[in-house]
A and B are shown apart, each in its own frame.
Chain A
């Protein structure tokens, strides 16, 4: 059998899987977005009707703004920012202590998501039955309604504690893979920790920074499970993000067509951000061919 035939034999199982579980659902979602499918599951085509409805839905600007605040604040403060900081600090200390702190940060990710969400609800329960308000009550202070006063902050922190661990692992691995010669040379030249970080570490983990930023942006754009459990988008749409609004429309109100149209827009939004990152991080440069050809 010739080369191309063999290649197809090896590729076919994966191609079938990709078509079945990626291509077909995407095509179905796009087709669905042109229907007004509801709980009857009928494919009634209405052209651009759902997109017109989205354009006149006055909740949409609020949802879009929430999505941007939630995604980029979580990303900057936790999924990339905090992850990078923990990696830099824990790789600068003795390995035993570094591993200890990294394990601590891994704990939220090891907790089942529903349990984790309910724990946050319990912590910030607005009555004296919640953890924080119980402690306040012991000190003679009145209960505070944190979930109403600062719901966005709470969901960002709740998501961030989980999201930071993934970046932390990737950055730590990348930092540890940098040859120690660079650091020794810099130290001999009298470079400070900050100088070493800025001039050696960060440039050498740029690829990982691009990956974590792009991956976590897409992940945050589509994730909503903790928001669903902790605030369910409330109070009054203050934490309703695009993915959650899509879920509410499709699975609470059973407007599957409308939900699909919202999903299509979310995919476009995700693609735009991914392309922007490629541009920002100079992806072409990162993908330069190796100078030494290996046969």
Chain B
């Protein structure tokens, strides 16, 4: 009895005298099912507290903060002003493409030494290509949280109506991947499906600014960044073909609605999942969204869609997909960098990361995750991982967002009916006006 009392007293004294450190994490979806980006940090804190308790260390860690589901741009605005006003936050979760600007401005801490410290326990196991996405000028500024692929979802039910056999349908992803089935071939199929009234539209793409469009640039072989000189490239000849494609899908072939850009996200997903569209340029996470927010079952989705890389054009380029790893960063002004990094490391445990992947439709960042049973039975994770060899990243350049904005303006012009050669001239002029010597305009 005396021993029990002593133990209780000891625990009570630990609880009373333990120093509590609050780590504030600002995390983002914006898709609803990605909430484990925040919750995994809380679980990591629970695990750490257990270790502290077992080791008799009088420190407790509490994770506070938020998981933002509004919009990327609003979240980034909040973060930027948070940096500037030195608001208290110790962990930040955002797209890898933000770290170029934020590292250059000195807002986020360099993490090479921390990574080295925990290399043998955790980081040796990260899929190597992901390290490239978290570097700025050769230094590590973030830890990958997840990755993804942007599959080209094609409606199998519509292909069957068009007379495709099971074998033809099954062979299509492979044909796209090896370049046998091109973007122009797809356009022919889409036109046929629309003409025969099997679908309202042949192709849907995202309705807002974003990085997905860069897949089409790669399909046409239009490189947009010079890594060696850290400058953007706008090749007029290649980009003419890209803008010509956008012009034709809405104005000539009419396989995409002119109102595509600006259509609410909810309406886009309803149309895609209700079979009104032949193909959707989406992401692996859409699979999770369709199940959680649009009432679709795994079986229904597997029956409806095949998953492939985005096709290459017959004019050049390659079949591709695009990854956009979401990463954890540590603000340079955080007073608890060591502890914040430890939490990130614990949150990178394979089983925690896997539950995020399963829940949100993202892909593994560690090899160990690929041997877990959840991975083996998840359709989109398996199919999405197959696309990773075709994957690329957007550059971690401080001015990427501005470049992207102007390129997107061109897409809007082309889709609304402005001639592609005029669009190329307008975009080139605007890029020069806004980005000055950070962009190289290639005439031919």
A267 to B264, CA, bound (A): 34
- The minimal Cβ–Cβ distance linking B264 to chain A, given in whole angstroms, is 6
The answer to whether A125 and B263 touch across the interface, beta carbons within 8 angstroms, is: yes
Given contacts A58-B430, A125-B263, 7 further A-B contacts (CB under 8 A): A59-B430, A126-B263, A130-B267, A147-B259, A232-B262, A252-B405, A253-B401
* Chain A residues in 8 Å Cβ range of B268: 127
Q: Are B267 and A129 in contact (CB under 8 A)?
A: yes
* Chain B residues within 8 Å of A236, by CB: 409, 412-413, 416, 418
Interface presence of A288 (CB below 8 A) = no
B261 contacts A234, C-beta separation under 8 Å: yes
Kindly state whether residue B376 has any CB partner on chain A within 8 Å: no
Smallest CB–CB gap between A251 and chain B, Å? 6
User: What is the CA–CA distance of A147 and B261 in the complex, to the nearest angstrom?
Assistant: 11
Contacts of B412 in A (CB 8 A): 234-236
A125 contact from B267, B402, B413, B434, Cβ within 8 A: B267
Q: Are A129's CB and B80's CB within 8 A?
A: no
**Closest beta carbon of chain B to A96's beta carbon, Å:** 41
Complex CA gap A246/B267 in Å reads 30
Q: Which of A126, A129, A148, A255 contacts B270 (CB 8 A)?
A: A129
Residue of A nearest to B401 (CB): A253
**Which residues from chain B contact A126 at a C-beta distance below 8 Å?**
257, 259, 262-263, 267
Say yes or no: is B373 at the interface (Cβ < 8 Å to chain A): no
Give the dominant DSSP class at B's interface.
helix
A58 interface neighbour in B101, B418, B429, Cβ under 8 Å? B429
**B104 at the A interface (CB under 8 A):** yes
Which chain B residues have a beta carbon within 8 Å of chain A's beta carbons? Answer: 73, 77, 80, 84, 101-102, 104-106, 257-259, 261-264, 266-268, 270-271, 398, 401-402, 405, 409, 412-413, 416, 418, 426, 429-430, 433-434
Q: B426 to A145, Cβ gap below 8 A?
A: no
Please give me the 5 A-B residue pairs with the lowest Cβ-Cβ distance, nearest first.
Answer: A126-B259, A145-B259, A40-B105, A127-B267, A129-B267
**A57-B433 CB under 8 A given contacts A39-B101, A40-B104, A145-B257:** yes
Q: In the complex, how many residue pairs between chain A and chain B have their CB atoms under 8 Å apart?
A: 78
B271 touches A127 (CB 8 A): yes
Interface residues as binary, A125-149 with B (CB distance below 8 Å gives 1, 0 otherwise): 1110110000000000000010110
In angstroms, Cα B430 to Cα A56, docked, is: 9
Say how far B381's CB is from chain A's closest CB, in angstroms: 30
Residues of chain A with a CB closer than 8 A to B434's CB = 53, 253, 255
Alpha-carbon gap, A253 to B84, bound state (A): 16
Please give, as numbers and ranges, the residues of chain A lying within 8 Å of B259 by CB-CB distance. 126, 145, 147-148
Q: Report B92 CB to chain A, min CB distance, Å.
A: 15
A121 near B416: Cβ-Cβ < 8 Å: no
Could you show 16 A-B contacts with beta carbons less than 8 Å apart?
A39-B101, A40-B104, A58-B426, A121-B264, A122-B264, A125-B264, A148-B416, A234-B261, A235-B416, A237-B409, A251-B77, A252-B401, A253-B401, A253-B434, A254-B101, A255-B402
Which chain A residue shows the least CB distance to B208? A232
CA gap between A39 and B261 in the complex, in Å: 27
Task: Report the minimum CB–CB distance from A57 to chain B (whole Å).
Answer: 6
List the B side residues contacting A125 at CB < 8 Å.
Answer: 263-264, 267
Instruction: Decide if A41 is an interface residue (CB 8 Å cutoff).
Output: yes
Contact A56 B433 (CB under 8 A): yes
Q: How far is the CA of A41 from the CA of B102 in the complex (A)?
A: 12
Choose one: A41, A53, A121, A252; the contact of B84 (CB below 8 Å).
A41
* Cα of A58 to Cα of B105 in the assembled complex, Å: 30
B429: chain A residues at CB < 8 Å are 58
Shortest Cβ distance from B105 into A: residue: A40
**Is A231 an interface residue when CB atoms closer than 8 A count as contact?**
yes
Name the B residues within 8 Å of A59 (CB-CB). 430
A92 to B: closest C-beta gap in Å:
42
B429 nearest CB across to chain A (Å): 6
A40 surroundings in chain B (CB, below 8 A): 104-106
Residues of chain A within 8 A of B104, CB atoms compared: 40
Our pick among B102, B271, B402 for the contact of A253 (Cβ within 8 Å) is B402
Distance in angstroms between the alpha carbons of A84 and B396 in the assembled complex:
55
Least Cβ–Cβ distance between B256 and chain A, in angstroms: 12
Closest Cβ neighbor of A236 among chain B residues: B412
- Interface members, chain A 212-241 (any B CB < 8 Å): 231-232, 234-237
Q: How far is the CA of A56 from the CA of B431 in the complex (A)?
A: 12
Residue numbers in B under 8 Å from A121 (CB-CB) = 264
* Residues of A with C-beta under 8 A to B418: 236
Enumerate A250-286 residues with CB–CB distance to B below 8 Å: 251-255
Please give me the residue from chain A that is nearest to B266 by CB atom.
Answer: A129
Contacting residues, chain B, for A41 (C-beta < 8 A): 84, 105
Which residues in A have their C-beta under 8 angstroms from that of B433? 53, 56-58
Chain B residue with minimal CB distance to A254? Answer: B80
Q: How far is the CA of A130 from the CA of B259 in the complex (A)?
A: 13
With A and B bound together, what is the CA distance between A236 and B261 in angstroms? 10
Q: A39-B105, A58-B430, A235-B416 are in contact. Are A253 and B262 (CB under 8 A)?
A: no
Q: How far is the CB of A45 from chain B (nearest CB, A)?
A: 17
- For the complex, what is the distance from the CA of A76 to the CA of B186, rounded to whole Å? 50
- Kindly list chain B residues whose C-beta atoms are within 8 Å of the C-beta of A237: 409
**A129 proximity list for chain B (CB < 8 A):** 264, 266-267, 270
